[in-house]
Chain A
Amino acid sequence: MAAFALKINGQTHKVDVDPDTPLLWAIRDGAGLTGTKYGCGVAQCGACTVYLDGQTVRSCSLPVSAVGTSEVTTIEGLDSKEAKAVQTAWVALDVPQCGYCQSGQVMSATALLTLNPSPNDRDIDLAMNGNICRCATYVRIRAAIHGAAKTLEG
């Protein structure tokens, strides 16, 4: 066991875990933030997507010891204008079904729009194909990203 001071959503969370513990479990069991989900544990499904200094990472496959002083952002800490546009579009189109993967979907979609405010379908495929949705809400995810992009255009 070792103590880590994780900067998550602007706050410092002290967690005492084994250094090999994936960031996902430090966030969930250590910091008590449960919006980030476990789906596969092997970076296949994207349900655990968070930002490390603004970059999307699969938190299930990143040891907590590798985080260092980097800023972690989870779904609970999303507050950019891109995030708001994404979440508003998600609700407007009733994208979620079971909803379990959607934190990861929203994190990836927000990251995409932050880098590329008007993505085409190919851009969406490339940015989102690491996020599995077993309910297959993909038609609406695509439409919601286009909708959010339109909102951001103003």
Chain B
Amino acid sequence: MTIHDKTIHDTTLSRRSILKAGAGLVIGAYIVRGGKAFAQAPAAPAYNIAPNTFVIIKPDNTVTVLCKGIEFGQGQWTGMATLVAEELDADWSQMRAEHAPSNPVLYKNLAFGVQGTGGSSAVANSFVQMRQVGAAAREVLVAAAAATWQVPAGEITVENGVIRHASGKEGRFGEFADKAMQLPVPSDPKLKDPVTFKLIGKEGVVKRLDSADKTNGKAIYTLDINEPDMLTVVIARSPKFGGTVKSFDATAAKAIAGVVDVKQVPTGIAVYAKGFWPAKTGRDALKVVWDDSKAETRGSAQLLNEFRALSKTPGKVVKNEGDFEGSMARGGRVVEVEYVFPYLAHAAMEPLNGYIRWDGDTAYARYGCQFPTPDHAMIAKTLGLPMEKVKLDVILAGGSFGRRAQQSTHAAIELAEVAKAMGPGKPIKLVWTREDDMRGGYYRPYSIHRMRGTVRDGKIEAWSDTIVGQSIMKGSAFEAMTFKDGLDSTSYEGSNEIPYDVANFRMDMHQVEVGVPVLWWRSVGHTHTGYAVEAFVDELLEAAGKDPVDGRLELMGKKPRHAGVLKAVAELADWKNYKVPEGRARGVAVVESFNTFVAQVVELSMTDDGPKVHKVWCAVDCGVAVNPDIIRSQMEGGIGFGLGHILYAEQKLDAGVPVAGNFDLYRSLRINEMPEIEVVIVKSTEKPSGVGEPGVPPLGPAVANAMAKLGVGRPRQLPIVPGASA
């Protein structure tokens, strides 16, 4: 996503803007008196009530970091706390994390300018900011201790959460919290020299802050919100995208015990009930006649034919270097392939949902919100309230993979509409069933890449890639940021700037309209461009008689970090000398996404149920590694997520209706299909970049390339195991 390419540069000079952010109140840390945690504070405050609040230090010495972004598995609670704790010289055992509430000024993502999580930007956009918060808190605590002890601040040291003076005086943070609150917070706190880091990048000293509660059932997600008067809502939405309600009969639904009311809302018919089950059975009992006159009615086969025909014609040129057609005309070994990528659902474990309470004058919403600022604004607008009359709290979400970050804010608007239709006074929990979530659209776009190239004298001389696909950003607030010359750059990112030196290069695109809503999906454009580029280069190198690793390295002269991870994974996997067991083969791929570089080697064999991946070796360069174990876990998870989809997942359309509604037809990777994984983190002093998404893209092409080595060919149409999901 190009909007994130700017991240790193922006953060380096953002310090001044951070410290100015809260309308002149230059406070990086907020120290709570009397144990009153601001995180749990007021019921319906204006959103700017507590400027510059990132850290809460309580009398019990716990240090709670308020996290700007959402924790949905990627580990940013732990990451943010690590950055603060490092500069604060806190002991890890005293660290805690919570979500910051929605506040578009204070808690904006410095990469976006609004509050939100995405593009693997959490650590990248916070690396300096959160360290400054920790350093400022440390300085103010030291000043408080110095004043208490009547000693110069310069003689005080802080280590593992203990403040000490040579005279033997010592105390912990909580003892100085009250006094520290009276003191000015330094505007330009001194940051540590990275060589003195004790937590950042260190093995074994930082553990995730959310593991225990996620192991004993105590972690609270939106689905777990429960209040005595609360109504649970399930909505009947049009089976086809773009369909609307023509008429409905709620008689049978209203006869179900527990159903309280039925209302029409802009997205369909909402059933309000005491609990999920009556709401769901009530919804299923509705008789709705849909108006499909404006609905998308094409099926997958028709889309394939249309996309395929278009891919054989030149699209709008994104990049053109050298003379592609001229080079092709000179002959050689010509390779032309087509790759077809299906619609994919995100299918996070927790389907979409939300909680809202509206009393007519104010509203309070609480859910696993990935983009608070736009959601907050649209909830307010829908309810006819100024934004400061709406409070929005973010809580843990059961995964997202992109689904909870909606540039259209469709789910937030629907949540507010459901409250509005019922009238003020009732707390409401809106729940999407698994089927609602999976058939509800906002998929990874369907697309085709038509690749052409030629090899002469063992060299790749020409390369072209014609993409046919749907824009993710068109019509959204992000259009201006992501569109270049009328094309959505997130549809082709990774295809226009390949890491290989090819003299004659062309990349063009047909941006097509389909009435299926689409969305970013864990690694966005790289989900398909990574496959197209890495499977194709492997095929060309094979035609050139080159080794997949050496051949790539020869062409990567201008790409040291790509080459770095490729060499690292080749060493980890012992690419040269390893004896591949009989019946198995290995393949490799390397993809950069969101400024992070990942190379993977896959070893697989073929079974009746498609490829069986036995092992994946992975090398990652994400700049300075903040939490090595979280980086490894994101690579492991990215590999498993990538593998499950490349093997099995597809959302087909039957006359416009999504076919798969649940995991029976949308097959998910299971434990018996999970490979062994070995990860190496390449040492780097580059600025930190994200790891939530970049583990995904190389996996698919590495599988394809291993399949080719095994003699079964690189899959041209995904998923690899056809029929698994329809």
On A, residues with C-beta under 8 Å from B are: 1, 17-18, 20-22, 25, 28-30, 32-42, 44-45, 47, 74-76, 78, 87, 90-91, 94-103, 106, 124-126, 128-129, 131-142
17 example contacts (A-B, Cβ-Cβ < 8 A) are as follows A18-B278, A30-B275, A39-B434, A40-B662, A44-B663, A91-B211, A91-B215, A96-B210, A97-B399, A100-B221, A101-B398, A125-B672, A134-B641, A136-B638, A136-B669, A139-B674, A142-B671
**CB–CB A90/B669 < 8 A:** no
**Distance between Cα atoms of A42 and B663 in the complex (Å):** 9
Give the CA-CA distance A142 to B640 in the complex, in Å: 14
Residue in A closest to B257 when the chains form the complex, CB atoms? A1
Of the candidates A20, A97, A124, the one whose C-beta lies within 8 Å of that of B671 is A124
Known: A99-B210, A140-B636. A94 touches B641 (CB 8 A): no
Q: Are B215 and A100 in contact, with the CB atoms below 8 A?
A: no
**A134 CA to B281 CA, complexed, in Å:** 27
A94 touches B664 (CB 8 A): no
- Say yes or no: B433 contacts A21, CB within 8 Å: no
B257: which of A18, A76, A94, A96 is its contact (CB, 8 Å)?
A18
How many whole Å from B624's CB to the nearest CB in chain A?
20
Quick check: which of B8-16, B88-96, B342-350 contacts chain A, the rest being far away? Answer: B342-350
- Give a binary string over B659-683; 1 marks a CB under 8 Å from any A CB, 0 the rest: 0001110001111101011000000
Q: Chain B 280-294 against A: per-residue CB contact (8 Å), 1 yes, 0 no?
A: 010000000000000
Which residues of A are found within 8 Å of B381, using beta-carbon distances? none
A90 to B433, CA, bound (A): 29
Q: B341-382: contact bitstring with A at CB < 8 Å (1 yes, 0 no)?
A: 000000111110000000000000000000000000000000
- State in angstroms the CA–CA spacing of A124 and B673 once bound together: 12
Nearest chain B CB to A99 CB, angstrom units: 3
B433–A136 CB distance below 8 A: no
- Name A22's closest neighbour in chain B (CB-CB): B277
Q: How far is the CA of A133 from the CA of B73 in the complex (A)?
A: 11
Of B216, B276, B348, which contacts A98 at CB under 8 A? Answer: B348
Interface centre among B274, B434, B676 (most CB of A within 10 A): B434
Answer whether residue B28 sits at the interface, using C-beta atoms and an 8 A cutoff: no
Inter-subunit contact B637/A137 (CB<8 Å):
yes
Interface flags for B225-267 (1: CB within 8 Å of A; 0: not) read: 0100000100000000000000000000000111000000000
Which residues of chain A are within 8 angstroms of B670 by Cβ–Cβ distance?
129, 132, 138
Question: A22, A29, A103: which contacts B217 (Cβ < 8 A)?
Answer: A103
Give residues 616-647 of B contacting A (CB, 8 Å).
629-630, 633, 636-641, 643-644
| A139 touching B676 in the complex, CB below 8 Å, given contacts A42-B664, A91-B211, A125-B671 | yes
Whether A17 pairs with B664 at a CB distance below 8 angstroms is no
Question: A95 to chain B: which residues have CB within 8 Å?
Answer: 211, 215
Is the CB of B49 closer than 8 A to any CB of chain A? no
Given A1-B258, A136-B640, A40-B350 contact (CB < 8 Å): no
Distance from A31 Cβ to chain B, minimum over Cβ atoms (Å)? 11
Closest to A40 in B: B434
Do most interface residues of chain A lie in helix, strand or loop, or is the interface mixed? loop
A98 touches B398 (CB 8 A): yes
Of chain B, the residue at the smallest CB distance from A64 is: B277
Tell whether, in the assembled complex, residue A37 and residue B210 are in contact, meaning their CB atoms are under 8 Å apart. no
How far, in angstroms, from A47 to B74 measured CA to CA in the complex? 20
Q: Is the CB of A97 within 8 A of B637?
A: yes
User: By the criterion CB–CB under 8 Å, are B223 and A37 in contact?
Assistant: yes
A45 touches B217 (CB 8 A): no
Q: In whole angstroms, how far apart are the Cα atoms of A28 and B429 in the complex?
A: 14
What CA separation (Å) do A78 and B215 show in the bound complex?
11
> Quick check: A96 and B671 within 8 Å, CB to CB?
no
In the complex, A56→B245 CA distance in Å?
A: 42
Please list the residues of chain B having a beta carbon within 8 angstroms of any beta carbon in chain A: 72-75, 207-208, 210-221, 223-224, 226, 232, 256-258, 274-278, 281, 347-351, 396-401, 433-434, 629-630, 633, 636-641, 643-644, 662-664, 668-672, 674, 676-677
Is the beta-carbon distance between B399 and A98 smaller than 8 angstroms?
yes
Q: Interface majority SS on B: helix, strand, loop or mixed?
A: loop
Complex CA distance for A30 and B214, rounded to whole angstroms: 22
In the complex the two chains form, is A100's CB within 8 Å of B664's CB? Answer: no
Pair B674/A138 contact, Cβ less than 8 Å: yes
Given A40-B662, A44-B662, answer yes or no on A134-B277 (Cβ-Cβ < 8 Å): no
User: Which residues of chain A are within 8 angstroms of B219 by Cβ–Cβ distance?
Assistant: 99
Nearest CB on B from A100, distance (A):
3
A126 vs B671: C-alpha distance when bound (angstroms): 9
Q: Does the CB pair A96–B214 fall under 8 Å?
A: yes
Decide: A134 and B668 in contact? CB cutoff 8 A. Answer: yes
Q: Given A18-B258, A99-B396, A133-B349, A139–B677 Cβ distance below 8 Å?
A: yes
A20, A33, A40, A90: residue with the most chain B Cβ atoms closer than 10 Å: A40
**Cross-interface CB contact of A34 among B210, B220, B662, B669, cutoff 8 Å:** B220
Residues in chain B near residue A131, CB distance under 8 A: 671
B671 and A134 contact, CB distance less than 8 A: no
B49 to chain A, nearest CB (A): 29
Q: How far apart are the CA atoms of A94 and B632 in the complex, in Å?
A: 11
CB <8 Å contact, B348 and A97: no
Q: What's the Cα separation between A34 and B399 when bound, in Å?
A: 17
Q: Tell me the nearest residue of chain A to B676, going by C-beta.
A: A139
- Partner of A136 from B207, B281, B641 at Cβ < 8 Å: B641
Contact of B226 among A34, A74, A75, A98 (CB under 8 A): A34
Closest residue of B by beta carbon distance from A104? B349
Contact of B211 among A30, A74, A94 (CB under 8 A): A94
Write the chain B residue with the least CB distance to A33: B217
Q: Is the CB of A38 within 8 A of B277?
A: no
Given the known interface contacts A129-B672, A139-B636, the answer about A25 and B663 at a Cβ–Cβ threshold of 8 Å is no
A22 to chain B, nearest CB (A): 7
**Are B396 and A21 interface neighbours, CB within 8 A?**
no
Q: Would you give the shortest CB distance from B432 to chain A, in whole angstroms?
A: 11
**Separation of A125 and B643 alpha carbons in the complex (Å):** 17
The interface centre, meaning the residue of A102, A137, A139 with most chain B CB atoms within 10 A of its CB, is: A139
Complex: chain B residue closest to A108, CB-CB: B671
| Given A44-B664, A94-B211, A100 and B275 contact (CB-CB distance below 8 Å) | no
The reply to whether B276 and A29 contact each other, CB–CB distance below 8 Å, is yes
Does B214 contact A99, Cβ atoms closer than 8 Å?
Answer: yes
Question: Is there an interface contact between A98 and B433, defined as CB atoms closer than 8 Å?
Answer: no
Given A37-B398, A100-B349: A29 touches B277 (CB 8 Å cut-off): yes
Closest CB-CB distance, A129 to chain B, in whole Å?
5
User: Are B275 and A97 touching (Cβ within 8 A)?
Assistant: no
- Among A34, A106, A142, which residue has the most Cβ atoms of chain B within 10 A? A34
Shortest CB-to-CB span from A32 to chain B, Å, is 6
Which residue of the partner chain, among B207, B216, B399, B674, contacts A94 with CB atoms under 8 Å? Answer: B207
The residues of B that contact A29 with a CB separation of less than 8 Å are 226, 232, 274-277
Q: How far is the CA of A68 from the CA of B39 in the complex (A)?
A: 43
Pairwise interchain contact B671-A90, C-beta atoms closer than 8 A: no
User: What separation, in Å, do the CA atoms of A128 and B674 have in the docked complex?
Assistant: 12
Contact B223 A34 (CB under 8 A): yes
How many Å from the CB of B726 to the closest CB on chain A? Answer: 16
What residues on B are CB-neighbors of A126 within 8 Å? 672
